Copies of this chain bind each other. A is one copy, B any other.
Amino acid sequence: MLSLLDEIKEDLIIVNMELEKVVESPQVLLAETSRHLLQAGGKRLRPAFALLAAKMFRYDLQKLLPLAMALELIHMATLLHDDVVDAADKRRGRPTVRSIWGNKVSTHTGDFLFAKALTLVAEYENPMIAQVLAQTCVSMSEGELIQMSGKYKPDLRNYLRRIRCKTALLIAASCKLGAVATGAPPSIYLPLWRYGYFLGMAFQITDDVLDIVADERKLGKPVGGDLREGVITLPVILALRESPHARYLEEIIQKRTKSDRDIAEAINIVRNCGATEKSLDIADRYIRNAIRELQSLPDIPTKNTLQYIAEFIKVRSF
């Protein structure tokens, strides 16, 4: 993935350094938890998309920095709140803020980072940036509730709406706003929004497949996590339609507490009926849609980068 980002590598390092500065606070604990989160790594996918999208018009790092930082801070804030409500102890193989400092600190640090993000985008003259980001955050919290209301229910519509709200819209906003921040017209930022949207859908589907098939050490958390929580993802929905053991799978899903053996058996059923391959086929359709959106954009090297990133989504293993 990293080599795909060669053309913005140095600027991403600057984004990272600025992120470390912006989370400074007279409250030592806030600064410490924010730094912990920053240093836990992560792909900085959303800032990267904003920078790449800006290449399609008049790239200017100074204009992009507040946006790029805000996108990552919003993403971090949602992770902090997710960890609290999911009582998660590990993320990306490292202990979560809540597992070290507790739920209170994690909740308030999330609010802090979210508010910080909004101070950054409030600087832009074009109000569209703050508007789109705030609306995306509204949708993201709606996505959380869609997920809760869909628990234990294998419902494709609920699944697609949820991953749209929880993942695709922020990636779409990253692509769109990177262009908007440099003054690009709709003919540039609308295809970029759609590229980001399709890519985000594909990204979440492959993420959900990885939760079933991944190597636990590479994933940095136990596999089958969604299943354990009653969160029904695409591979499971498809397995319930296609597997000869669908009824047994359904029984496991409905259990409110699942043993490790339950999870292992459910994963085997999903793996052995072609549901993960079929899910990746669906991800592939989104990827092809994403790539098609690039056609109308200027023929610059970044266009190839965006295409490679889309193609990389489905072959990644972490």
Contact = CB atoms under 8 A, between A and B. Distances in A.
Nearest to A148: B104
B115 A137 contact: yes
A79 to B, nearest CB: 12
A206 interface: no
B130 A112 contact: no
Interface in A77-109: 78, 81, 84-85, 103-105, 107-109
A13 to B, nearest CB: 25
B107 A131 contact: no
A29 B145 contact: yes
Contacts of A26: 142
B123 A27 contact: no
Interface string A1-42: 000000000000000000000000111111000000000000
Chain A interface, >50% SS class: helix
A214 interface: no
Contacts of A108: 81, 85, 141, 144-145, 148
Interface in A120-155: 122-125, 127, 130-131, 133-135, 137-138, 140-142, 144-146, 148-149
A111 interface: yes
A133 to B, nearest CB: 8
A132 B84 CA distance: 28
A116 B138 CA distance: 6
A317 interface: no
A49 interface: no
Contact of A27 (B28, B84, B105, B146): B146
Contacts of A105: 145, 148
Contact of A149 (B29, B78, B114): B29
A119 B29 CA distance: 29
21 contacts: A27-B142, A27-B145, A27-B146, A29-B145, A29-B149, A84-B84, A85-B104, A85-B108, A105-B148, A107-B107, A108-B148, A111-B114, A111-B140, A114-B114, A115-B135, A115-B138, A115-B140, A116-B138, A119-B134, A119-B135, A122-B131
Given A85-B107, A85-B108, A118-B118, 17 more contacts: A30-B142, A78-B111, A81-B111, A105-B148, A108-B145, A109-B145, A111-B137, A111-B140, A111-B141, A112-B145, A115-B134, A115-B141, A116-B134, A116-B138, A118-B133, A119-B131, A122-B127
